[in-house]
Structure formats: structure tokens, C-alpha cells
Amino acid sequence: MRIAITGGTGFVGRHLAADLVSSGHEVVLIARGVDTCGGDAAKLPNNRFFASDLSNVADLRRAFSACGAVAHCAGINRELGAQTYQKVHVEGTRHVVEAARLAGVGKIALLSFLRARPDCGSGYHESKWAAEEIVRESGLDFTILKPGVIYGQGDHMLDHLSHALYTFPVFATVGFRSKPVRPLAVSDLVRILKPILIDGRLSRQTVAVLGPEKMPLTEAVRRVATVIGKRPWYVPTPVWFHYVLAHVLEATMAIPLVSRAQVRILSEGIVEALPACASLPADLKPATPFTDEEIRKGLPVPGGFGRRDLRWCA
């Protein structure tokens, strides 16, 4: 089966592509350009690459030609220049849906966010919700997955968290009380996506996807710190401080340690879908715990932040 993946060279996209190819499927990777390829995604066998920023329906229709399904994984967690939430999440999704319809694609799976919802004052959350609504009203067979925080090789969580722990002796909590999280292994997310795309599971459903363990964010940080041999001081700090920090980091870092959207996410907690939605069936529920072994699998090369992480040096 041929499956198209938007954001195909991003974190989830490349893990999904590698798994599909290993199972004998053909993948079409769609990303903004070949220079954005993550890892060795573009070097996979049975792979075709299309450079697209999701702005051209005709290009997307050609990319989706002969595809049985589309995994729409493209997304951003901060706005930068022309890459806005409106353009990527809303207009991009509208173009993906239109191109899928024209190409005769049988299934679309959208990767949204656990607490994506309307009228909440966050451009990230509201644009993700708008994308969900576009897919739900498309007339296509769809599945919308709403995961929380995802970790694995090449992620943002373990990558930036470990670099921060190597760089700073303190960890500033988002708010005076640590909010809960349920870390989700990317391998579990891929295991859920495959039967959706290949077998048509969870047809016309919106489903929450959460890791098997619930813990305070500080506990997740402590586990990562233990694996890399660090013992930071945990300093409770107000949410407004993190918004200020995120504003500075978005302006100075190529990939910010934390964005304003992520501050909003962490300040709310990431363990409950909002609005409420369906749960996964028992055979698809994530089962990978956030253990030392799983953390080690996802860690980047050891080291702190440096000049290479600044926007003008990247």
C-alpha cells in the first residue's frame, strides 16, 4: 500500500515512515524541502519525496496519486515568518483534504493535540481544533488522534530537556505546582497509526492517545536527569515568567527550549482530553512505560546548549 505522510521528515513522520517501509509499504514523504529532512527518512527504500509547504492543492494531488491513505502529521509549535498557525494548521489542512478528495484517497488520519479546542485564547490550540473540524466535515473517512506529550529518538522533549539539564543547574517548574503528564512513546503512536491507515480502524472517530503512566512533570524530569547523571534544583516559578522566557527564546534560538504554545500546554497539564473524546480500544492502548531504558533510547548526543542553537548561528 502507498501511504502519504505530511511532515514526513519530522519527528513522528519519520518514525511512521520507517515502520511502514519495514512492513513492505511504500511511503510518500511530504515536507517543505529536502534540507529539512530529519534523520535518514529521505533515504528509506520504497520512498518518494515531495517538497511542499501544503499551500498548493495541485502539487498535493500529484503527491497523493495512487495513495490509499494520508497521515497528516505536519504541524508547528511556534509561528515563524510565513509559517503561521493559520497557514500550516488551518489552510494546510484544508488543502490536504481537498487534494485527498481529488486524488481519491480512501483514508486520512490527522495528528492533532490532546487539548486542542476553540475559543481558549491560544492560537496553537484553536488552529489545531480548526484543523480537526475541517477533517470531520470533509466527507472523507477519517480518524483524528489527540496525543499529549510524545517522546522518542529525535523528539523535542528528551532532546531539549537533556540539553537543558546539561546546561543549567536548576529546573524551573511551570507554575508553583507541577502539572501532570502521561508521556507517550512514539513507537506506541506508530503502532496505533498503522491499523488506522492500512486497515481503516477507528473510522470517523476522534480519539485521545496517552501514555500508560501518569506523573507530575517534575517526576518525568527527574527520571531523565537520573539517566544522564544530573541532580538539578527544582525551583517553582510563576507561569508568567515562562511566557517571558519563551518570548525571548523564540527570538533567539533556532529551535526554542520552550515556546509560548508549550508554556500554555505545560501550565494546563496533559492528561485529559478537552473537549472529551473517545478512548482507544484495549488492543491499541499504549503500553510502553517511561522507564530508564526507553529514555536512553531517545536521548540525543550528550551535551548542553551552545552557539549552534542560536538562530543566527544555525
CATH of the domain at 37: 3.40.50.720
Residue 262 in any domain: the answer is no
- The string of pLDDT tens digits covering residues 112-125 is 999 999 999 999 99
Residue 109 in any domain: the answer is yes
CA 114 to CA 270: how far, in whole Å? 7
CA dihedral 122→245→38→161, nearest 10 degrees, is -110
CA 293 to CA 296: how far, in whole Å? 5
Residue 257 in any domain: the answer is no
* CA-wise closest residue to 209 among 285, 109, 298, 311: 285
Mean pLDDT within 171-179: 92
Average pLDDT, the chain: 94
Half-sphere exposure of 263 (CA within 13 A, CB side): 24
- Residues of the chain with pLDDT > 90, as a percent, come to 89
User: How many CB atoms lie under 10 A from the CB of residue 203?
Assistant: 11
Mean pLDDT within 92-99: 98
Owning domain of residue 71: 2-154+183-211+272-287
Residue 278 in any domain: the answer is yes
Residue 174 in any domain: the answer is no
Residue with cell 505536519: 74
| 154 dihedral zone (left: phi>0; alpha: psi -120 to 50; beta) | left
Is the CB of residue 235 less than 8 Å from the CB of residue 172?
A: yes
Q: What is the tally of structural domains in the chain?
A: 1
Side chain identity, residue 293: E
Which DSSP category does 311 fall into? T
* Residue 38: exposure state from Cβ atoms within 10 A (0-12, 13-18, ≥19): middle
Residue 260 in any domain: the answer is no
* CA-wise closest residue to 110 among 86, 85, 136, 87: 136
Structure confidence at residue 35 as a pLDDT band (50, 70, 90):
very low
pTM of the model: 0.94
Q: pLDDT at position 42, please?
A: 61
- The string of pLDDT tens digits covering residues 36-80 is 444 566 677 778 999 999 999 999 999 999 999 999 999 999 998
- Distances in Å between the Cα of 95 and the Cα atoms of 116, 147, 267 are 20, 23, 32
Cell numbers at 283, concatenated: 488492543
Residue 70 in any domain: the answer is yes
Residue 233 in any domain: the answer is no
